[in-house]
Amino acid sequence: MDSDPRVLRQIAFFEKQGFEIILSGLEYNGDKLFFPLVKSRPPFFRLLKLIILVTRLTRIRVLEFLRYSSLKDLSSQSPTIDLILANDAETWPLALELKKSHPPAKVIFDAHEQYAKEFSDMFVWKWFHKRFVNFVCENYIPKADRFITVCDGIAQDYAKEYGVEAHLILNTPDFKDDLMPSPEKEKIQIIHHGIANRSRKIEKMINLVDHLDIRFELKLMLVPSNSAYLRQLKEMAQGKKIEFLDPVPTQEISAFINRFDIGLFILEPVNFNYANALPNKFFEFIQARLAIAIGPSPEMKKIVEVEQNGIVTKSFEEKEMAQVLNKLSKEEIQRMKAKSHEVAWKYSNHQNENVMKNLLHDLNLLQISAADSAN
Domain presence at residue 177: no
Based on the domain organization, do 11 and 147 belong to the same domain?
A: yes
Based on the domain organization, do 328 and 204 belong to the same domain?
A: yes
Based on the domain organization, do 101 and 129 belong to the same domain?
A: yes
Domain presence at residue 241: yes
Domain presence at residue 198: yes
Based on the domain organization, do 306 and 360 belong to the same domain?
A: no
Domain presence at residue 64: yes
Domain presence at residue 314: yes
Q: What does pTM read for this prediction? A: 0.90
What Cα–Cα distance (Å) separates residue 93 from each residue in 62, 126, 139, 147? Answer: 7, 21, 9, 14
Domain presence at residue 125: yes
Q: Is the CB of residue 223 less than 8 Å from the CB of residue 196?
A: yes
Beta bridge partners of 35: 24
Q: Is the CB of residue 280 less than 8 Å from the CB of residue 6?
A: yes
Between CA 368 and CA 364 the distance in angstroms is 10
CATH number, residue 153: 3.40.50.2000
Based on the domain organization, do 318 and 353 belong to the same domain?
A: no
Based on the domain organization, do 129 and 157 belong to the same domain?
A: yes
Based on the domain organization, do 206 and 161 belong to the same domain?
A: no
Domain presence at residue 17: yes
The tens-digit pLDDT sequence of the chain (375 residues) is: 667 899 999 999 999 999 989 888 878 888 888 877 765 554 444 444 443 333 444 444 454 555 555 566 666 666 688 999 999 898 898 888 888 888 899 999 999 999 998 877 777 767 677 888 898 999 999 999 999 999 999 999 999 999 999 999 999 999 999 999 999 999 999 999 999 999 899 999 999 999 999 999 999 999 988 789 999 999 999 999 999 999 999 999 999 999 999 999 999 999 999 999 999 999 999 999 999 999 999 999 999 999 999 999 999 999 999 999 999 999 999 999 999 999 999 999 999 999 999 999 999 999 876 556 555
Between CA 9 and CA 229 the distance in angstroms is 30
Based on the domain organization, do 43 and 127 belong to the same domain?
A: yes
Number of domains in the chain: 2
Domain presence at residue 182: no
Between CA 38 and CA 26 the distance in angstroms is 8
Based on the domain organization, do 121 and 22 belong to the same domain?
A: yes
Based on the domain organization, do 157 and 270 belong to the same domain?
A: no
The domain of 69 spans 5-172+349-374
